[in-house]
Amino acid sequence: MAVRYIQSCRLPTPFGVFDMHGFEESDTGKEHVALTLGSLDSDEPMLARTHSECLTGDALYSMRCDCGYQLEEALRAIAREGRGVLLYLRQEGRGIGLLNKIRAYHLQDQGADTVEANERLGFAADLRDYSMCKDMLDHLGIKSLRLMTNNPRKVNALTSYGIEITERVPLHVGRNPHNESYLNTKKSKLGHWFETHQDDDPLQS
């Protein structure tokens, strides 16, 4: 998926002053942003997160997921490191959109898990697309990543687009009584890693 660079600006946050870079998908007009901190010139792998939009978790403080917690912790980690990148991708609800996400939450209120809810609505468990990430990183001159994620599918998807990932950095935050079942389902049905060291995680140092 081709994206084109639009413009950059400074973005002061509670975690530090980032640079925000705007991108637009050529075919759909969908907009994405990258937040960067520190030098982009080094060939050293950059601490990174690709974060899919979650309005309920990122902006409305929902405790049904761990998305908002992960977003904040990723920005904190980048600030501590003094150098890093966060790609914020506009694909709400694992790609099904906000209103369908609300429908899925309703089904979860009736007892479905997060995967069953998507499937009952006629969607795959995860429709997210990471193909735009390569163009965004190429524009920024970022060659390799130390990726903050618990999701093996994300690692596989990014590497399939030619993005070099030298290390997988666990991101375990935000577990609470409201998302316990959600996180357990991500582990049991989607294969997410939730232990610090995993034998089947080839990137875990």
Does the annotation place 54 within a ligand binding site?
Answer: yes
Does the annotation place 198 within a ligand binding site?
Answer: no
Does the annotation place 51 within a ligand binding site?
Answer: yes
Q: Return d(Cα 182, Cα 127) in angstroms, integer.
A: 17
Quick check: helix, strand or coil at residue 113?
coil
Q: Out of 66, 126, 135, 168, which one is annotated catalytic?
A: 126
Does the annotation place 53 within a ligand binding site?
Answer: yes
Does the annotation place 164 within a ligand binding site?
Answer: no
For every residue of 14-74, DSSP letters joined together read: TTEEEEEEEEEETTT--EEEEEEES-S---SPEEEEEEE--IIIIIS--SSSSHHHHHHHH
Which residues are 168's β-sheet partners? Answer: 147
Q: Which two tokens stand for residue 183?
A: 């996180």
For tokens 């990148």, the residue is 85
Does the annotation place 44 within a ligand binding site?
Answer: no
Does the annotation place 92 within a ligand binding site?
Answer: yes
CA distances to 15, 163, 164, 170 from 48, in Å: 15, 12, 12, 12
Q: Out of 66, 128, 135, 168, which one is annotated catalytic?
A: 128
Does the annotation place 22 within a ligand binding site?
Answer: no
Beta-carbon neighbour count of residue 8 at 10 Å? Answer: 14
Does the annotation place 114 within a ligand binding site?
Answer: yes
Does the annotation place 133 within a ligand binding site?
Answer: no
Does the annotation place 52 within a ligand binding site?
Answer: yes
Does the annotation place 154 within a ligand binding site?
Answer: yes
Is 126 catalytic? The answer is yes
Region of 195 on the Ramachandran plot (φ > 0 left; ψ -120 to 50 alpha; else beta): beta
Q: Do strands 31-37 and 46-52 pair parallel, antiparallel, or not at all (unpaired)?
A: unpaired
Q: Which two tokens stand for residue 138?
A: 């190429």
Active site residues: 126, 128
Residue positions forming the annotated binding site for GTP: 49-53, 70, 92-94, 114, 149, 154
Task: Give the residue ranges of the annotated binding site.
Answer: 49-54, 65, 67, 70, 92-94, 114, 149, 154
Question: Which amino acids are annotated as binding site for Zn(2+), given as ranges?
Answer: 54, 65, 67
